[in-house]
Amino acid sequence: MRIVLAEDNALLREGIALLAKSAGHEIVGIAVNGPEIVPTLLEHRPDIAVLDVRMPPTFRDEGLRAAIEAREHLPNLPVLVLSQYVEQAYATELLATGAAGTGYLLKDRVGRVEEFLDALDRVAAGGTALDPEVVTQLMTRHDPLDTLTAREREVLHLMAQGHDNLAIARLLVVTERAVTKHIGNIFRKLGLPTTDSGHRRVLAVLAYVNA
């Protein structure tokens, strides 16, 4: 996997690069400030971009803006965004682009090597990987989710993180058939089309939450 990495913190940047290389991936380009990101992505056209949200010179939203701009030129570019905190506006704006291959992780997740590498692979393959804390904060802001049962909320929470039906079944220690039934109920209650197609169902749920 060819990766472009945008991160101004040298220690974290080297750590991510080391993890990626240890998993057999290649860092083909590095950006250390906002203005470098899009040119680096267009030059290397990587399999995935790993971007910090807040980059020099303003440390506000350079990474996010670059991700959205880059997708105008590279519509199918998978993007994994890293952030120090849960920034709801940034998360929902990125997800609202509706593109396949989207991830939003808190930076401390990088230290959990298997989780980080799994998220990297999932997003590069066109899936979704959202930090559980991000999902929690997005979900708890919206009353319509009160129509869901406790189990349905658990299933939706895991769906929004990017887990497939089989993984959800294993995590909740239920059958895959039961998970499929819960998902059908969730989409029916939220007025969304029933679909089991990976990232599309997650983005549909998040689009509803954002609305």
Percent of the chain with pLDDT over 70: 79
Q: Which residues contact 201 (CB under 8 A, 6 or more apart)?
A: 159, 183, 187, 195
Q: Find the mean pLDDT for residues 60-80.
A: 87
127: β partners: none
Pairing between β-strand 26-31 and β-strand 128-130 as defined by DSSP bridges: unpaired
Query: Per CATH, which fold does 2-131 belong to?
Result: Rossmann fold (3.40.50)
**3 state SS of 159:** helix
pLDDT of residue 22 exceeding 80: yes
In total, the chain counts a number of residues equal to 211
Which sequence spans correspond to the domains of the chain? 2-131, 142-210
Q: Is CATH 1.10.1200.10 the classification given to domain 142-210?
A: no
pLDDT (tens digit, 9 = 90+) per residue, 99-111?
Answer: 668 888 998 888 8
Let me know: does 101 contact 70? Beta carbons within 8 Å.
no
Same fold, 2-131 and 142-210: no
What's the pTM value of the predicted model, to 2 decimals? 0.68
pLDDT of residue 132 exceeding 50: yes
